[in-house]
Each structure stands twice: as C-alpha cells, then as structure tokens.
Amino acid sequence: MKKKKVTVGVLTGGGDCPGLNAVIRGVVKASISKYDMGVVGFEDGFEGLVERRSIPMDWLTVSGILTQGGTILGTSNTANPFRWPVKDEKGKMSFKDVSDKAAAYIKELGIDSLVCIGGDGTMAIARKLSQKGIRIVGVPKTIDNDIWGTDITFGFDSALQSATEAIDKIHSTAMSHHRVMVVEIMGRYAGWLTLESGIAAGGDIILIPEIPYDIKKVCAVVKKRSKQGRRFSIIVVSEGAKPIGGKLVVKQVVEESTDPIRLGGVGLKIARDIEAQTGLESRATILGHVQRGGTPSPYDRVLATRFGVKAAELCHSGVGGVMVAVKGSDIVTVPLSDVGGKTRLVDENHPLIDVAKNVGTCLGV
C-alpha cells in the first residue's frame, strides 16, 4: 500500500511586514525539495481557513518572491476562528466560535501540519488550534520585536532600517528650520523599534512605553539645547508612550480585531505640548505603515529563510505545538503554550538603555 504523502498548510496572519514571502518560500521549497511533502496555502490568514479559501503551492508559486514585501497569500488582522464577527439583519455585531469549522477544513484537505506565520495574536490563535488536535508550527513575525521566546523576529530589522532612514531625513529639515521635530514610531506596547532607531539616528530624546515620560523634563531638555545654540531637537517617540500617570493616546477601536486598540497620535500631542510650554516651533511626523512596507533587508531575508526551512523540518518530523525562535545564533523551538498572551518588553535595565543614557540621550525622566 502506497504511503500517504505528507501535506503542509501555511498561512500568514496579522499585519504584514517584510520577510513574509521569504518564510513562505523557505517552507515551500524545503518541503518539496528535501522532504517530498505537498504544500497548501491559505488565503488571507485565518480568514481562508474559515471561508475555505486555499491554493496548492509548488516551486513556481514561490519563484521570485524572496525580495518582495508583503505576502503573496494575503493576510488579515481581524480574522479569529475563536471570535468570528457576525452581523445580524439590523447590523448588530456579535461573535461566535467557528474554530471547529476551520479544523474540519484542515482535516478535509488532508493537512498534517499547519505553519502559522504571525505575531503574538497569531501565536495565541495557533496555540488554541493546537489544543484542538491540529499540529501547529509557529513562525514569529512582527516589526515590533515583542514576541516572547525569541531574541528577534523577522521584519524588525527591515522596519528599523526604514525608521532610521526616515529620521535621518527629518534631521536635516530640523537643522535647516531650527525646529523641534517629533517622529512617532510603531511598536504598540513595546519600545524596541523606537529605542533602536532613536539610537541609530541620534535622537536627542527617546520616549518608549516602558518608561513613562515627564513632559516638563522633555521641555527642559529642548530649551537647554536651544540656549546652548543647538537650535533643533529630534524626539523619537513610540506610539505606545504615555506620560507619568497618564493614558495612552488611542486613534481608534476596531471591535472585530484580535487587538481592538489602535494606537496613534501621541507624537502630535507631544509636539503641541512642547510648543505651548516652550514657545519653540514643533512639528510631528507619524511614520505609520511606511515602516511595514518595502523590500526585506538581507538580514531579514536570511532569518526568514532559516525560519521557513526549520518549520518544514519540524512538519516532516511530526513536531507540533511549537514556535521556531532565535536564541543567540541558533534556531530553536519554544512551546506555543509559553508564547501566547505574553509580550517581550524593553527591560529598564537593558544594555541599550544604558547606551542611550551614556551618549546623552534623554529618556523623558
């Protein structure tokens, strides 16, 4: 009797970022060339699982996608099989668990392992699917670098490069016009992208979520710089930064999303506060989704490919309930149960905090 060919499923969930296609390519090519496995891709993340949208994937499907940003499979940051949005005839929103429907589709397609590429929300959903008996391998993706259990996520290096280049360009405008320039960086509740781009671009003040800021201290620094003849200042602020005793600045709430809170606007608030309290002309730039787009950096291409190849190896070995991760220079695995629901934040004693302080950067306190 002929042995059944192992089939791997792959999907990309949550927000897009550079390197997603490199992972898909790594999974598909390693699955086919080394392990003789079949591969099926699900369109638009978990939405494809629920709505029964999948495509067979082969060598030609992933040819030429290594350098492309985004994801050829599409993605969704609202699709959650365990909290599926449904509207009644009057347009009222409610949520239902359709995970059994998703699991049934996976079984119907004969998929032995499912590779879920995404951030903490995707990993949380993957963990719950794993508990339903589906063999899951997670791959950590986010520009925020905030996934528990891995030293770094793919997508972070590319976003860091984009953010740093943008701050560099704003630097020259700040010098020419003698302005205080506030640059708002993505990252949600973690300050990794803001901290590292701020250090790389020579930010005078760096404000991250993990260290609530004192606006009086921020104003004192820009005034001191002005009096010393440095007639401009660069403030790099995370979208999740907040004042001591204050609240986050929320742009909108998307009810049906796995993470309903959309942060944004703290840069504008800080610029207004500085201008009101110091009289110095201040401007804010919100980099937004430009940090997510574009070609992945060489580092991210290599890391994403390593992740994809490792995921294929785990699928072939029948290993599930894990996420691939970086520890030092090694690609390892961590249990999905250790990842879901946790966030990797910047510790106030992290060496990069000392680096920023030692070159005279103000952290808002």
CA–CA separation, 114 and 7 (whole Å)? 9
* 273 plus 317 within the same structural domain: no
Name residues whose C-beta falls within 8 Å of residue 132's C-beta, 6 or more positions apart in sequence: 99, 100, 103
* 217 plus 328 within the same structural domain: no
Catalytic residue set: 144
* 175 plus 259 within the same structural domain: yes
- The answer to whether position 360 is within a domain reads no
Query: Residue 180 sits in which domain range?
Result: 159-292
- The domain tally of the chain equals 2
Query: What is the CATH number for 218?
Result: 3.40.50.460
- Among 259, 292, 325, the domain boundary falls at 292
Classify residue 196 by burial, with Cβ atoms within 10 Å: 0-12, 13-18, 19+.
Answer: buried
- The answer to whether position 192 is within a domain reads yes
* 168 plus 267 within the same structural domain: yes
- The answer to whether position 191 is within a domain reads yes
Residue type at 33? S
* 193 plus 75 within the same structural domain: no
Q: State both tokens at 354.
A: 């000392």
The Cβ of residue 58 has, within 10 Å, a number of other Cβ atoms equal to 12
* 199 plus 247 within the same structural domain: yes
* 131 plus 180 within the same structural domain: no
* 26 plus 135 within the same structural domain: yes
CA–CA separation, 356 and 365 (whole Å)? 13
pLDDT at residue 64 in the model: 95
Q: What is the dihedral of CA 295, 312, 345, 167, to 10 degrees?
A: -10
* 109 plus 132 within the same structural domain: yes
Classify residue 70 by burial, with Cβ atoms within 10 Å: 0-12, 13-18, 19+.
Answer: middle
pTM above 0.75, yes or no: yes
Could you tell me the mean pLDDT of each successive run of 10 residues in the chain, 365 residues long?
A: 82 92 98 96 96 96 94 91 85 88 95 96 93 95 94 96 94 78 94 97 96 96 86 92 91 69 88 93 90 92 98 97 96 92 91 96 95
- The answer to whether position 219 is within a domain reads yes
Place of tokens 């499907």: 61
- The answer to whether position 361 is within a domain reads no
* 33 plus 150 within the same structural domain: yes
pLDDT at residue 43 in the model: 97
Q: Are 126 and 22 in contact (CB under 8 A)?
A: no
Classify residue 137 by burial, with Cβ atoms within 10 Å: 0-12, 13-18, 19+.
Answer: buried
pLDDT at residue 270 in the model: 94
pLDDT at residue 91 in the model: 76
- The answer to whether position 350 is within a domain reads no
* 45 plus 147 within the same structural domain: yes
- The answer to whether position 354 is within a domain reads no
pLDDT at residue 269 in the model: 94
- The answer to whether position 362 is within a domain reads no
* 144 plus 197 within the same structural domain: no
Distances in Å between the Cα of 352 and the Cα atoms of 191, 195, 196, 325 are: 11, 8, 8, 21
Query: What is the CATH number for 116?
Result: 3.40.50.450
